[in-house]
């Protein structure tokens, strides 16, 4: 059965065209995908991303656990609220998922927002009880230490089950408690005017603090009617903005307040064209369990340098590290490049790319609304830069290799 977010009826009432996305009934667009795309680039748009999975990690050895689980180094996150983007790898160095991890602090309790007794119907639909909680609780976790650190991870919806299984399996050895938070909804508000529009809805006492929030940092704030919000200055569009986590009983009120403030609802279609223009990978299309970060343009997220806690060992022993080092030494056979089609036409996932050193393929491909031409990611033999052509229905058209992002701050970079 298809799962629904708490905003499902709101989307339908707005005339959204709904599609199945990773088992979720989600809005593709509300009339015109291209207009929604432009609204985010020029003003402010919002996306229901409540299908994404929020997982909280508690326990004295969390940091050590994340040092083992993630290819990026959580040690880079030095202040509470700071997030890192990372791949979670298997032993072969393949990408199980890409995710964001927030380093947070708490005085006591379960972390923010507090879990409420009796999960709602939607929460029940999202969580199967058997994997809602894995691992075991360290006694240290219950001690009355002043400020305990904890972590919040946001993973992809389509990979939820395998992610929770993998995280739970790895967490057991560290005594880390893994708690899914299906009762939390998430709304991404993105665009040059997104932050101002959100700030206007916050409690006056919180505005200044949220206004000063640095990029890739999260904090707590009170929204309309004092509803509790977890606000992060992150996103998946290349625009400034916030991703807001809110208890689902407040999600519709928040969405309506944002709409009243002039934030335009945007669907998954616009989300895809925006993220590709911004040069961001999509799990399942640009990388998967058989692709290493080296082959997916994600080398910048792999921290091979030693982490603070085990510098003397010469580096963190994160899962997949040995395989990555082996591939580096042997030579990475293929890599991800940004490509532009100067001719008319559209790049699509799976199209064959012909290069002088062998065939490759289009991974993500779209018609870019900002640029008015087709752009994409291609996986090609390492070093192939010239003489690339794409096979579109039997016709071979030239591709230009470009640095990405393709679009930054609403302007072309190519």
Partner 1 sequence: MSDIPGDLKFQKSHEWARVEDAGQVRVGISDHAQELLGDLVYVELPKVGDKVEAGASCAVVESVKAASDIYAPVSGEVVAVNGALADKPETINEDAYGDGWLFVVKAGNPDELDALLGPDDYAELIENDEH
Of all helices (H) and strands (E), which one includes residue 96? Answer: strand 95-106
Number of residues that bind partner 1 (CB under 8 A): 15
Counting contacts by CB under 8 A, is residue 362 touching partner 1?
no
Counting contacts by CB under 8 A, is residue 147 touching partner 1?
no
- Does a cis peptide bond (omega within 30 degrees of 0) precede residue 113? yes
> Which residues are CB-neighbours of 32 under 8 A, at least 6 positions away?
none
Counting contacts by CB under 8 A, is residue 406 touching partner 1?
no
Residue 270 CB, shortest distance to partner 1, in Å, is 9
Residue 262 CB, shortest distance to partner 1, in Å, is 22
* Nearest to partner 1 of 323, 346 (CB atom): 346
* Integer Cα distance of 62 and 79 in angstroms: 15
Strands 17-21 and 241-247: unpaired
Residue 387 CB, shortest distance to partner 1, in Å, is 24
Residue 228 CB, shortest distance to partner 1, in Å, is 36
Binding mask 8-47 for partner 1 (x = CB under 8 A): ---------x----------xx--xxx-------------
Residue 33 CB, shortest distance to partner 1, in Å, is 5
Binding mask 370-389 for partner 1 (x = CB under 8 A): --------------------
* Options 66-74, 91-99, 105-113, 339-347: segment touching partner 1 (CB under 8 A): 339-347
Residue 177: strand, helix, or coil: strand
Binding mask 294-333 for partner 1 (x = CB under 8 A): ----------------------------------------
Binding residue (CB under 8 A) for partner 1 from 81, 269, 338, 360: 269
User: Which tokens hold the place of 121?
Assistant: 């119907």
Name the residue among 157, 127, 154 with its Cα closest to residue 23. Answer: 157
Strand partners, 383: none
Residue 189 CB, shortest distance to partner 1, in Å, is 22
* Options 40-48, 72-80, 140-148, 340-348: segment touching partner 1 (CB under 8 A): 340-348
Dihedral sign for Cα atoms in the order 44, 48, 52, 57: positive
Count Cα neighbours of 146 within 13 Å in the Cβ-side half-sphere: 0
Name the residue among 40, 194, 163, 179 with its Cα closest to residue 97. Answer: 163
Residue 27 CB, shortest distance to partner 1, in Å, is 12
Counting contacts by CB under 8 A, is residue 393 touching partner 1?
yes
Q: Kindly list the distances between the CA atom of residue 217 and the CA atoms of 57, 144, 232, 255, 378, in Å, as whole numbers in the listed order.
A: 18, 26, 6, 22, 31
Q: Kindly list the distances between the CA atom of residue 237 and the CA atoms of 189, 192, 223, 406, in Å, as whole numbers in the listed order.
A: 10, 11, 23, 12
Counting contacts by CB under 8 A, is residue 345 touching partner 1?
yes
Q: Which residues bind partner 1 (CB under 8 A)?
A: 17, 28-29, 32-34, 269, 273, 344-346, 348, 366-367, 393
């Amino acid at each position: 059965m298809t799962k629904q977010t708490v905003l499902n009826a709101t989307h339908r009432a707005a005339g959204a065209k709904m599609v199945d996305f990773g088992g979720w009934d989600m809005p593709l667009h509300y009339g015109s995908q291209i207009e929604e795309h432009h609204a985010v680039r020029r003003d402010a748009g919002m996306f229901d991303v409540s299908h994404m999975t929020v997982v909280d990690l508690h326990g004295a050895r969390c940091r050590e656990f994340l040092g083992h689980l993630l290819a990026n180094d959580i040690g880079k996150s030095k202040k509470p609220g700071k997030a890192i983007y990372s791949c979670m790898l298997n032993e072969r160095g393949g990408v199980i998922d890409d995710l964001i991890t927030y380093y947070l602090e708490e005085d006591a309790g379960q972390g923010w927002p507090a879990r409420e007794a009796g999960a709602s119907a939607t929460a029940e639909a999202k969580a199967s009880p058997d994997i809602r909680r894995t691992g075991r609780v360290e006694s240290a976790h219950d001690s009355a230490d002043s400020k305990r650190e904890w972590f919040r991870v946001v993973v992809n919806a389509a990979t939820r089950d395998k992610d929770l299984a993998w995280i739970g399996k790895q967490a057991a050895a560290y005594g880390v408690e893994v708690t899914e938070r299906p009762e939390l909804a998430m709304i991404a508000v993105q665009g040059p005017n997104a932050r101002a529009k959100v700030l206007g809805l916050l409690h006056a006492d919180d505005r200044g603090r949220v206004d000063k929030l640095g990029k890739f940092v999260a904090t707590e704030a009170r929204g309309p009617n004092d509803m509790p919000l977890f606000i992060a200055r992150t996103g998946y569009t290349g625009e400034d903005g916030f991703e807001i986590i809110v208890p689902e009983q407040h999600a519709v009120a928040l969405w309506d307040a944002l709409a009243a403030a002039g934030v335009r609802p945007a669907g998954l279609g616009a989300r895809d064209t925006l993220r590709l223009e911004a040069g961001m990978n999509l799990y399942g299309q640009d990388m998967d369990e058989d692709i290493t970060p080296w082959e997916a343009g994600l080398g910048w997220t792999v921290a091979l340098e030693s982490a603070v806690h085990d510098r003397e060992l010469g580096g963190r022993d994160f899962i997949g590290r040995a395989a990555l080092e082996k591939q580096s030494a042997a030579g990475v056979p293929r890599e991800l490049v940004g490509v532009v089609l100067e001719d008319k036409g559209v790049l699509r996932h799976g199209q064959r790319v012909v290069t002088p050193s062998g065939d490759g393929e289009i991974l993500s491909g779209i018609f870019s609304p900002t640029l008015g031409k087709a752009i994409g990611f291609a996986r090609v033999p390492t070093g192939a830069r010239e003489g690339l052509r794409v096979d579109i229905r039997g016709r071979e058209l030239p591709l230009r290799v470009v640095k990405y992002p393709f679009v930054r701050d609403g302007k072309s970079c190519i």
